[in-house]
Amino acid sequence: MYHSKISGLGYYVPENVVTNDDLSLIMETNDAWIQERTGIQERRHVIKGDGDTTTTMGVKAAKAALERAGIDKDDIDFIIFATLSPDYYFPGPGVLVQRDLSMARTVGALDVRNQCSGFLYALSVADQFIKTGMYKNILVIGSELHSTGLDMTTRGRNVSVIFGDGAGAAVLSREEDLTKGILSTHLHSEGQYAEELSLTAPGMGRRWVTDIIADNDPDDTSYYPYMNGQFVFKNAVQRLAEVVSEGLAANKLSVADIDMLIPHQANLRIAQFIQHKFQLPDDKIHNNIMKYGNTTAASVPIALTEALELGKIKDGDLVILAAFGSGFTWGSAVIRW
């Protein structure tokens, strides 16, 4: 058995900055209202026609991760791509990355649909492949293009002000020192609450494209995201606290051992609740939702990359990643850097 280590990280966000004041020009909202409820000040949105897609943003993040890992794209043995906003209904973006990176090898590509927890699920899958010796280097990507699929009117403001576009990527590589790398991952789901944070159309079982076109109903919101905000918040703080504690217990560690916590950037209030619960000082948690909003599967790798670039993570540090999202799904990863 081996461990897997994160040998390279990278992220990409569009250049177009959309502030809360910008949103107030197209819907009934304001900066104070958004910041009070979410902590978000601005986010990045693609500009239509500029070439940014979920895949191309993921490729840009991947190239940065490969460069930092010091390996060539053809050293990658497998691709795992996490997203809820693929370029196409099918095929998924994993194979598009294989194509767009011009990989000489016909490596396998897997798509993960676990929304805000997607990167952690993808990381866990990659970790298992490397631990068993099947693969040596795996490219893991979380990328989201939300802006073109949101209801950017007053009707949709409770959801649309939250989300931003961006991508993060990690190269996982074989590590023979079993005291380093990913020590454990922990994954959970609770499907009875699936519809509390969901986008139900188009879907084969309920409302497909032909139905939407036939009805041509301007008041149909089934193809916009829905979120029961208070219910999601209550479950998020509970499950995130549980899964962080689970990771610590599995490795016989305590809260005092944490050097850096990277929570999914869903809502600054959720992250602050978790920080307070574990009594972590500000220098042991990294939040960037203020700048980027909720980038779903991309949020953890973007924040992790930023924290590393800022010097907040050093060799030997204990780093914990944690996420909660639609499904409900949630998970954590305990890493010795």
As annotated, the active-site residues are 116, 264, 294
Q: Which residues, at least 6 apart from 49, have a Cβ–Cβ distance to it below 8 Å? A: none
Rounded CA separation 164/188 (Å): 25
DSSP track, 213-232: HHH--TT--TTS-EE-HHHH
Q: E strand or H helix at 182, and its extent?
A: strand 181-189
Supply 121's token pair: 């699920």
Find residue 186's DSSP bridge partners: 332
Q: 285 vs 163, 304, 329, CA distance in Å? A: 21, 10, 22
Three-class secondary structure of residue 124 per DSSP: helix
Token pair, residue 130, equals 């490397």
**Cβ contacts of residue 315 below 8 Å, gap of 6+?**
337
State how far the Cα of 218 lies from the Cα of 204, in Å rounded to an integer.
Answer: 21
Region of 105 (left: φ > 0; alpha: ψ -120 to 50; beta: rest) is beta
All residues at 6 or more sequence positions from 47 whose CB lies less than 8 Å from its CB, including other chains:
14, 16
Token output for 153: 């009117």
